[in-house]
Structure 1
Amino acid sequence: MNHLGARIGLAGLGVAAVFLVAGQSLVSSPHLAGVISNLALLAVAGWAGVTFALRARVGSPGLRSARILFAGYCFTWLLGRTAWTFYEAFGDSAWPSVSWVNAVLVAATLVAIAGGFCLSTVPVGAARLRSVLDGLLVGFALFFVAWTFVTSPVIDAGGSGADIALGFAYPLADIVLISVVTMALPELPAQLRKYGYLFLAGLLCIGVADCAYAYLAATGGFRSGTLVDAGWLLGFGLLVLSATLAPPRIEERFSRLTALSPRALLLPYLFLAPVVVLSAWYVVSGRVLDTEMVLIGMASFVVMLVRQIVTVLDSEARAESLVFQATHDSLTGLWNRAKFYDYLASVLSRRGETRAVLFMDVDDFKDLNDGLGHAAGDEALCCVARRLEGHMRKDDVIARLGGDEFGIVLRSVRDADEALRLAERVNKAVSVPVVVHGEQHEVSASIGVALSGTHGETAGVLLRNAELAMYAAKREGKSRCALYDPSMHVNVLDRVRLLSELRTAIEQDQFRLHYQPKYDLRSDAVSGAEALLRWQHPEKGLLSPTSFLETAEQTGLIVDIGRWAMQSAFLFIGSLRSEDVISTTFEICVNVAPRQLKEPDFIADVTRCLALSPLQPHQLVFEVTESAIIDSTVLPALWSLKSLGVRVALDDFGTGFSSLSYLDRFDFDVLKIDQLFIADLDRSQSRRAMVAAIIEMAHTMGLISVAEGIEQESQLAALRELGCDGAQGYLLSKPLTEAQFVSLLSQTTPAVV
């Protein structure tokens, strides 16, 4: 709450009240008292208008429009009252009971009515009907009171047509305004609703003052500076407070699930209290109710009855909506994880049937979602959900468990073979291209299957087992189904243990770099080295990357490990360059994972390492595999490396799909021929022809060719004959520690290119 605004508002009202009291009590002249009272009213009404206008700059569109119109109401009323004050202060004759000023004041109320409608954001349906009935109920109740105290007495007094019109216009305009605001109150955001009651109280005070004025003006008894002015002063003062205290930014919109405030629901019935009291007074005093009063009372009763019925129906609809939202996924309309879990626990508690749980994950969904946008991803998920619904048996249950994961309960299956057949059928149904934004995109899924009565009966265990089987299916190549086996759980525990040990290894500096020399086949000299990662495990000894690299890449730890490897290689090879152990043509090759290339800070890390190292950019070669550049999102990082002067090598060439196409996607500097082609190079003519073609292609494209995995002299001789530029392998040298590598360099002559 704006405490400063509250203090300012109350202080201002106090000053205005002092003016009003002074006008009525301390000034003997009625004329001067009226002028003072009018000035106080003008100040408060103007203040209210300015406050609403300032608050109209922020908030939701509906709230801003309402505040603008309420400001217009205050300023229009101010205009009419200013003319009134001017005439009373300087006019030569009596002020007529009906004039154009009355029209302006009534028009001001019409502007406020428009603002009240802007507050109402209830959609069509039971909620809208209940709101309308609220307005009618309040309207009938207020009209009953107005008829009793204003309209009927004016008519009975034999007033003119203009006087009777005045007796109708003021009460009717205020009744409509109060009814409209009452309609909007229950559906207002909770933060705004309590200030809405303050606003409504202000309108009621203004309405009472208007009715009193209409009666007194029509019967010739009104003058300024009386208690009627106090009603207007209090009313506009409450409007000032409601506008000042209410939070300016209310962006919350109406929802079918908006909780109805009990006070808001009971509010219309409070307006019936005067109707009941007046009716009882008429009966006790022996007076006869006017026909009009009887009709209004009957209408109020009918509206109240209908409202009760509609409120009950609306409450039931809201309760159903809340239950649906609590148990269903908002995107696909399928059951959510909580409902799925409860249902699975329920069916597992009933013995006799074998149940199967399928845990399905959409393959490579992140690439589709990131590449085409979240809207496209949502569309694809909805398409998958509809396909699942169309290929399930009658008693099977489907749920979206979160993200791109879906769960299926097969109520009755004979054995694991039947469960796998059903899973394969689901996979086949899902693995059909989806049309997103007018284009076809391939979709596949990995599904894990777990059966009840085999490895655990609880819902949590069964769902976990199915998820473990799903991950096993992904490791086997995706777009597959796998049946849970207890060994999968053991594998997960091993993976968790490995992950913990990897984090410890990073913290305790347990990683090492070994360097495998690369030889120039033209001079037989060492032309460079590849930095190879090793883990000095405290219990298992020295581990190669095959035992931990996959987990590091999947968990993102490869980013920290790769950064350490790059910095360490730069530091070591840089120190050799500073000591003139190597030449300016010596190359250090560092492997880089796709996850590293996607890191926003990767290029900055490389730039920082280059700035701190005596090495030249061309001496650094980053090696990427074919699988890395399948994802086009890594290409910007590779081009940034090229712009730094760093060279890029395509590692393990020939082992991936469409290897040649990758050479066209990026301007590589080095082509590393995989060991697969070298293994039987000296025994297979077809393999020799393939290697010859690769080397010739590399030279044609201006690439340096390097063969990996050289283990025999015959392989090395064949590569020399074919014109290969460089080679590395155990025949030439195994990976060496730093000390061993320095010793090797001291015994050989570095290559000069």
Structure 2
Amino acid sequence: MTGGNIAKAIPPVMPPGLTAAEGALELLPIAAVVAGFDGERLIRETPNAIFRRLGLDRTLEDIGPRIATFLAKGDARAEFAWDIGDAVERRHFTVTLARIGYRAEPRCFVSFVDHTGELRTEQNLRREMTIDSLTGLPNRGGFGDRLEAQIAEGETACAVLVVDLDRFGRINACLGSMAGDELLMAVARRIKGALRTHDVLARTGGDEFGILLSIDDSRDEAEHVAKRIRAVLAAPFRLSDYEIQVTCSIGIAFIEDAVTEAEDAIRHAQFAVRRSKESGQAEAYQNHAFVRAREEFALETQLRRAIAEEQLTLHFQPICDLSTGRIVS
């Protein structure tokens, strides 16, 4: 035969003293072992180099009951997740059991696929998505997740506070965004100092902070926390050559008030903030005020549409005396 070279398959060189099956295990890029069960104890055969290097003998003992059950049932294949180690050095594996049919005694091939790196990357990405990069606090999404979990667990003895800084836009415009960021970090530290250790503080917007409070005794606790926050923010903040006086508006929503979703609670507290801006003190959400506001908004929308479509007609034009305000004709 001419015109080219003939490639020949070269079998891998097995380490001396190993059978072909044992040598094949050594070539696998994952931890693997052949295991069995004699009715009383787990039998470990032919672990490969990666299995030995990771020290998975104890792990194999831990999953021994699963291996015994698998071999007793006669299944061909099984797969499950298994974690080892403490919280800091925890490793995550997918364990696969595959029956070996050529043995007289029941045996199975056990492989360990390490997913630790993938899961840690996923956890880091999820953490970045739920953490505010400026303050290091949970962001709106992270705060919503915490609140959603608490509602799902049935822990409704809690309140959501929304703290909105007054005139922050003006401070940001006059002193610059770097000064504004410095102010936000200082505000976050002061608010954190006014809270209890188990309360959750988050930055839910540009100049808005959310707080999740556990209420142990009465709803008055939320009012007391709001007063402490206003008190700690009352002292001037020093930014460059300026002393900045910061005031805030605080809205409160209670989870017990038929709230089933985290966003409802946050929206209720934000609505109460608008009332707080008018009254100058912390305000709790009131359903009737919310209903009235929605009705006023609907009426405003209808009037704007009526004006645009020329649907308004003037039927009566009073003439008033400007000096007295009295209608004269």
Aligned equivalents of 2:273, 2:317: Cα separation in 1: 32
Amino acid at match of 2:322: Y
Residue in structure 2 matching 1:730, options 318, 322, 329: 322
Matched residues in 2 for 1:421 and 1:439: separation? 30
User: Do the aligned residues in 1 keep the contact of 2:194 with 2:225 (CA within 8 Å)?
Assistant: no
Q: Which of 409, 415, 428 is the matching residue for 2:231?
A: 428
C-alpha distance in 2 between matches for 1:465 and 1:500? 22
What does residue 375 of structure 1 align with?
178
Distance 2:194 2:124 in 1: 27
Amino acid at match of 2:188: A
Correspondent of 1:385 among 161, 184, 188: 188
AA aligned to 1:491 is: R
Residue equivalent to 2:293: 492
* TM-score with structure 1 setting the length: 0.27
Within the candidate set 418, 425, 431, 2:221 is matched to 418
* 1:351 aligned counterpart, secondary structure: coil
CA contact (8 A) 2:157 2:216 kept: yes
For each residue in 1:715-737, what CA deviation from the matched residue of structure 2 results, as whole angstroms up to 9, or x when unmatched?
Answer: xxxxxxxxxxxxxx73277799x
Contact 1:345 1:458 in 2 (8 A): yes
The offset of 1:390, in angstroms, is 1.8
Aligned with 1:507 (options 295, 298, 308): 308
User: Are 1:473 and 2:272 an aligned pair?
Assistant: no
Aligned to 1:35: none
* Alpha-carbon separation, structure 2, partners of 1:357 and 1:468: 12
C-alpha separation between the residues in 2 aligned to 1:331 and 1:419?
27
Structure 1 pair 380–491 and aligned structure 2 pair: CA distance change class (3 A): farther
* Structure 1 residue aligned with 2:197: 394
Q: Give the partner amino acid of 2:181.
A: D
User: Does residue 445 of structure 1 match 2:248?
Assistant: yes
1:505 and 1:361 map into 2 onto residues whose CA distance is 35
Per-residue CA deviation, residues 15-49 of structure 1 (Å, 9 max, x unaligned), is xxxxxxxxxxxxxxxxxxxxxxxxxxxxxxxxxxx
**Cα deviation code 1:644-669 (max 9, x no counterpart):** xxxxxxxxxxxxxxxxxxxxxxxxxx
Q: Matches of 1:337 and 1:357 in 2, distance apart?
A: 13
Evaluate the alpha carbon distance shift between residue 498 and residue 438 of structure 1 in structure 2; reply closer, same or farther with a 3 A threshold. Answer: farther
Letter in 2 for 1:417: D
**Separation in structure 2 between the aligned mates of residue 541 and residue 398 of structure 1, nearest angstrom:** 56
Which letter does structure 2 place at the counterpart of 1:395?
Answer: H
8 Å Cα contact 1:448/1:483 also seen in 2: yes
Identify the structure with the greater helix proportion.
1
**How many angstroms does 1:433 deviate by?**
1.9
Q: Do the aligned residues in 1 keep the contact of 2:215 with 2:221 (CA within 8 Å)?
A: no
Paired residue for 2:125?
A: 322
Correspondence for 2:85: none
Offset, 1:509: 5.9
Check conservation: 1:354, 1:414, Cα contact below 8 A.
no
CA spacing shift, 1:369–1:505, aligned 2, 3 Å:
farther
CA distance in 2: counterparts of 1:472 and 1:508, whole angstroms: 33
Q: What do residues 258-287 of structure 1 show as CA deviations (whole Å, max 9, x unaligned)? A: xxxxxxxxxxxxxxxxxxx8996xx9xxxx
Residues 731 and 405 (structure 1 numbering): CA distance in 2 closer, same or farther, change over 3 Å?
same
Distance in structure 1 (CA, Å) of the matches to 2:315 and 2:144: 41
3-state DSSP class of the match of 1:731? Answer: coil
Separation in 1, partners of 2:267, 2:147: 12
CA distance in 2, matches of 1:463, 1:386: 22
Change in Cα spacing, 1:733 to 1:484, as seen in structure 2 (3 Å) is closer
Superposed, which structure 2 residues align to 1:297-336 within 5 Å? 318-336=121-139
- RCO greater where, 1 or 2, for CA within 8 Å and sep 6 or more? 2
Whether contact under 8 Å (1:472, 1:488) holds in the other structure is no
Instruction: Verify: 1:409 aligned to 2:1, yes or no.
Output: no
Quote how far apart the aligned CAs of 1:430 are: 2.5
C-alpha distance in structure 2 between counterparts of 1:492 and 1:339, whole Å: 29
**How far apart, CA to CA, are the structure 2 residues paired with 1:735 and 1:370?**
48
Larger Rg: 1
Q: For residues 208 and 117 of structure 2, what CA distance do their matches in structure 1 show? A: 35
2:3 is aligned to none
8 Å CA contact 1:432–1:444 kept in 2: the answer is no
Amino acid in the other structure paired with 1:403: G
After superposition, the C-alpha distances for 1:656-709 in whole angstroms (9 at most, x for unaligned) are xxxxxxxxxxxxxxxxxxxxxxxxxxxxxxxxxxxxxxxxxxxxxxxxxxxxxx
Structure 1 residue 387 displacement after superposition: 1.4
Residues 144-163 of structure 1 aligned to structure 2 (within 5 Å): none
Could you tell me how far apart the structure 1 residues matched to 2:132 and 2:282 are?
A: 25
Distance 1:367 1:483 in 2: 27
SS of residue matched to 1:490: helix
Structure 1: tracts of 5 or more residues without a match: 1-276, 284-304, 306-310, 511-536, 544-710, 712-728, 741-753
Q: Does the 8 Å contact 2:273/2:283 carry over to 1?
A: yes
Distance, in Å, in 2 between the alignment partners of 1:462 and 1:539 is 43
Tell whether the 8 Å contact from 2:251 to 2:276 is kept in structure 1 after alignment: yes
Shift of 1:352: 5.8
Distance 2:151 2:291 in 1: 24
Which amino acid letter does the alignment assign opposite residue 365 of structure 1?
F
- Name the amino acid aligned to 2:212: V
In 2, the alpha carbon distance for the partners of 1:487 and 1:540 equals 34
CA RMSD of aligned residues (A): 3.9
- Among candidates 169, 177, 183, match of residue 366 of structure 1: 169
Q: Aligned to 2:153, what secondary structure does the other structure show?
A: coil
Q: Which runs of 5+ in 2 are unaligned?
A: 1-9, 17-52, 54-113
> Residues 182-581 of structure 1: matches in 2 within 5 Å?
318-351=121-154, 354-477=157-280, 480-504=281-305, 507-508=308-309
Q: Which amino acid aligns with 2:154?
A: R
Question: Residue 397 and residue 491 in structure 1: after superposition, are their counterparts in 2 closer, same or farther (change >3 A)?
Answer: same
TM (normalized to structure 2)? Answer: 0.58
Say which SS state the counterpart of residue 456 (structure 1) adopts.
coil
Give distance in 2, aligned partners of 1:345 and 1:509. Answer: 47
Matches of 1:359 and 1:540 in 2, distance apart? 46
Report if aligned partners of 1:413, 1:419 keep a CA contact under 8 Å in 2: no
CA contact (8 A) 1:468 1:488 kept: no
More strand by share: 2
Find the aligned partners of 2:317 and 2:294 in 1 and give their Cα distance: 22
Matched letter for residue 297 of structure 2: V
Distance 2:135 2:259 in 1: 30
AA in 1 matched with 2:128: Q
Map Cα deviations across residues 81-137 of structure 1 (whole Å, 9 max, x no partner): xxxxxxxxxxxxxxxxxxxxxxxxxxxxxxxxxxxxxxxxxxxxxxxxxxxxxxxxx
Q: In the comparison of the two structures, how many residue pairs are matched?
A: 226
Give the superposition deviation at 1:321.
2.8
The 8 Å contact of residues 150 and 156 in structure 2, kept in 1 or not, is answered as: no
Classify 1:392/1:538 alpha carbon distance in 2 versus 1 (closer, same or farther; 3 Å). farther
For 2:283 and 2:247, how far apart are their aligned partners in 1?
Answer: 15
What percent identity do the matched residue pairs reach?
32
Deviation (angstroms), 1:426: 1.6
> 1:402 aligns to what SS in structure 2?
coil
Q: Closer, same or farther in 2 for the Cα pair 1:735/1:428, shift >3 Å?
A: farther
Q: Deviations 1:340-386 (Å, cap 9, x if unpaired)?
A: 11211211233365111101111111111112222221111111111
